[in-house]
Amino acid sequence: MEKQHHTHYHDIPSYETRDGSEIRELMHPQHHAVNHQSLAEAIVRPGCETRLHLHHRSEELYYITQGEGQMTLGEEHFCVSKGDTVSILPAMPHCIANIGQEDLHILCCCSPAYSHDDTQLLD
């Protein structure tokens, strides 16, 4: 089967990742015509938080498209909201808590692509 170059948001099922967020893989090498990266939307519900974790190989970018969060990045803690971007280097412990009243939506770009096997839970 030929891999897709174009996707529709509502055609992509969501699933829960090891860190506890709801993920929708918008583009991933397993299913789409990309080789070295992935793009996903993560949703963290109000009052919820992802588990502290790191990725051994993947570098991530978080782009906040909706909501408010408290980001933990190594020893650093800071607030994020719509329009903010966070760079997460490989082996950097991180998690994010939704501190707002609406769902926190995050576009997550990973290179190399996201893999459960590359995710180490720290808590």
CB of 54 closer than 8 Å to CB of 60: no
**Which pLDDT does position 109 carry in this prediction?**
97
pTM exceeds cut of 0.95: no
* Top-confidence range, 10-14, 27-31, 73-77: 73-77
Architecture of domain 13-121: Sandwich (2.60)
Q: With contact defined as beta carbons under 8 Å apart, do 100 and 46 qualify?
A: yes
**Residue 1 pLDDT grade (very low, low, confident, very high; cuts 50, 70, 90):** low
CB of 50 closer than 8 Å to CB of 20: yes
Determine the pLDDT at residue 123.
Answer: 82
Residue that is written with structure tokens 């980001």 in the block:
71
